[in-house]
């Protein structure tokens, strides 16, 4: 018999792991910055840091404050109606009561595929959107499990957490790009002279290539940990693991045609409870954990 899992422990473990992964991104930023600062003139490096902070903060914060509007517009979602979407509205009200959160703004997008997403910078400015297929195909318990998962993202401030991650990754990418371009335009003569200087430049170039790739992989790992945490927090709200696990099983086995898949823009695909673009090779390069792993964990809670 498989070992039972405590949802409290699962929530705590995944939050700790995602926090440690976030620290690793900061460490990558510090190491990259230290090496480049050793190579470049301090005043020039300071200018790069200022520019990277301004660009990364500006782009990410604009997205942060408009994430819900962008996501809803991209999938042509419409406000949910208590008359036509009664099960959805009642499920959201029940989960709001269980979580102590305000009822989010509710939206529906037309799609036969079972899916849902949440967005918003805080519980007071949050939205939950489900597909019409989810409303039609899921039972009351399954729909509540899905809504509980999405409201868990809101309760855990996952949008805010991933925004901070995006800012750090943006800074890493901009710093690396500036450094590589500065070497290109200077013909590789910028920085220290001698053998030690040449080795330091080689290390700087290697880090500038590897750091953005590595930080993005870490970001994907954080996203997967936040999904596991949302599953466990959803169980905490419903106290009924079979609801969400049954919904995930239906998602796993449903067939999606190309026309329906095009309704999910790739830019917002990471927000959904299940990646609409199912890939053969998930693992390191996926925003979502393997769905079988998620189902297995839920069945052991």
For residue 130, which phi and psi values (nearest 5 degrees)?
-125, 160
Report DSSP letters for the chain, one per residue: -PPP--HHHHHHHHHHHHHHHHHHHHHHHHHHHHHHHHHS-HHHHHHHHHHHHHHHHHHHHHHHHHHHHHHHHHTT-EE--TTTSHHHHHHHHHHHHHHTPPPPEEEEE--SS--EEEE-SSGGG-EEEEEHHHHHHS-HHHHHHHHHHHHHHHHTTHHHHHHHHHHHHHHHHHHHHHHHHHHHHTTT--S--HHHHHHHHHHHHHHHHHHHHHHHHHHHHHHHHHHHHHHHHHHHHHS-HHHHHHHHHHHHH----HHHHTTS-TTTGGGBSS-SS--SS-GGG-SS--HHHHHHHHHT-
Selection from 146, 133, 77 nearest residue 105 by Cα: 77
Q: Classify strands 105-109 and 127-131 as parallel, antiparallel or unpaired.
A: parallel
Instruction: Give 104's strand partners.
Output: none
Is residue 150 annotated as part of the catalytic site, yes or no? yes
Q: Which of 136, 150, 227, 254 is the catalytic position?
A: 150
Question: Which residues form the catalytic set?
Answer: 150
């Amino acid at each position: 018999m498989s070992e039972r899992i405590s949802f409290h422990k699962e929530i705590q473990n995944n939050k700790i792991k995602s926090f440690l992964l976030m620290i690793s991104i900061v460490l990558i930023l510090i190491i990259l910055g230290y090496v480049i600062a050793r190579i470049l003139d301090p005043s020039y490096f300071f200018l790069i840091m200022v520019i990277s902070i301004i660009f990364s903060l500006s782009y990410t914060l604009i997205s942060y404050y408009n994430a819900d509007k962008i996501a809803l517009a991209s999938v042509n979602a419409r406000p949910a109606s208590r008359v036509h979407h009664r099960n959805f509205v009642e499920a959201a009200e029940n989960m709001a009561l269980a979580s102590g959160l305000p009822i989010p703004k509710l939206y529906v997008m037309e799609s036969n595929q079972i899916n849902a997403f949440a967005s918003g910078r805080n519980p007071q400015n949050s939205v939950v959107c489900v597909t019409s297929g989810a409303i039609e195909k899921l039972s009351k318990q399954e729909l509540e499990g899905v809504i509980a998962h999405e409201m868990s993202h809101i309760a855990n401030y996952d949008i805010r957490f991933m925004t901070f991650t995006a800012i750090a990754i943006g800074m890493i990418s901009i710093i690396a790009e500036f450094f590589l371009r500065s070497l290109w335009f200077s013909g590789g003569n910028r920085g220290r002279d001698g053998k030690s200087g040449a080795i330091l430049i080689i290390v700087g170039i290697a880090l500038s290539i590897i750091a953005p790739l590595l930080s993005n992989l870490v970001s994907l790992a954080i996203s997967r940990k936040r999904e596991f945490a949302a599953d466990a927090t959803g169980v905490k709200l419903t106290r009924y693991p079979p609801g969400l696990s049954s919904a995930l099983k239906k998602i796993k086995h449903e067939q999606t045609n190309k026309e329906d898949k095009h309704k999910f823009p790739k830019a917002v695909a990471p927000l959904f409870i299940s990646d609409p673009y199912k890939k053969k090779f998930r693992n390191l390069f996926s925003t979502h954990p393997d769905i079988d792993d998620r189902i297995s964990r839920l069945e052991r809670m």
